[in-house]
């Protein structure tokens, strides 16, 4: 889970992380980076049921800067017209699924590959499939 350090008391070695409207307390023993916690820094952590945070690390910039790169209309059209060869999945970066679609089309018959591609193309255009392989939203 991604959160922001709200406070840190270096004498007591405890701090607080805020994420999704909730506060999680942490102890320096759960802090993984070499440098000390800084107020305002984004962190990646595991929330516990008792309101504490464990396995705290600095959040990578790619985790919280997910800017759309791929267009959902292009992916959807590729799915509708070329889904039987997994072209829409290749466009979105899902190579193993694309290989499976090619395999299904050539082994079981093109009608299955066409149906699979048309269904996924419609799901992409209607934004029910809305992320690429890196978790970025589609434009």
What is the average pLDDT across 5-16? Answer: 90
CA distances (Å), origin 106, targets 85, 101, 113, 135: 9, 9, 8, 30
What is the average pLDDT across 15-44? Answer: 87
pTM of the model: 0.55
Q: Is a pLDDT exceeding 80 seen at residue 41? A: yes
DSSP character string of 78-129: HHHHHGGGTHHHHHHT-HHHHHHHHHHHHHT-HHHHHHHHHHHHHHHHTTSS
> Domains, the chain, ranges and CATH?
2-64 (2.40.50.140), 72-125 (no CATH)
Q: Choose among 117, 115, 120: nearest CA to 130.
A: 120
What is the average pLDDT across 27-37? Answer: 82
Predicted confidence band at 61 (pLDDT cuts at 50, 70, 90)? low
Burial class (CB in 10 A: 0-12, 13-18, 19+), 116: buried
80: its two tokens: 């509708």
* Structure letter (DSSP) for residue 61: H
The total of other beta-carbon atoms located within 10 Å of residue 49's CB is: 5
**Average of per-residue pLDDT values in the chain:** 87
pLDDT reported for residue 134: 79
Q: Is a pLDDT exceeding 70 seen at residue 64? A: no
């Amino acid at each position: 889970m991604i959160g922001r350090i709200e406070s840190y008391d270096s004498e007591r070695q405890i701090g607080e992380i805020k994420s999704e409207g909730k506060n999680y307390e942490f102890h320096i023993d759960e802090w993984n980076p070499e440098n000390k916690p800084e107020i305002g820094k984004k962190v990646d952590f595991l929330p516990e049921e008792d309101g504490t945070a464990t396995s705290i690390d600095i959040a990578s910039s790619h985790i919280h800067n997910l800017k759309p790169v791929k267009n959902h209309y292009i992916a959807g059209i590729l799915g509708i017209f070329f889904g039987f060869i997994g072209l829409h999945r290749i466009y979105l970066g899902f190579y193993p699924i694309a290989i499976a679609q090619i395999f299904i089309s050539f082994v079981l018959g093109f009608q299955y590959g066409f149906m699979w591609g048309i269904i996924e193309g419609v799901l992409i255009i209607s934004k029910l499939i809305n992320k690429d392989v890196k978790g970025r939203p589609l434009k």
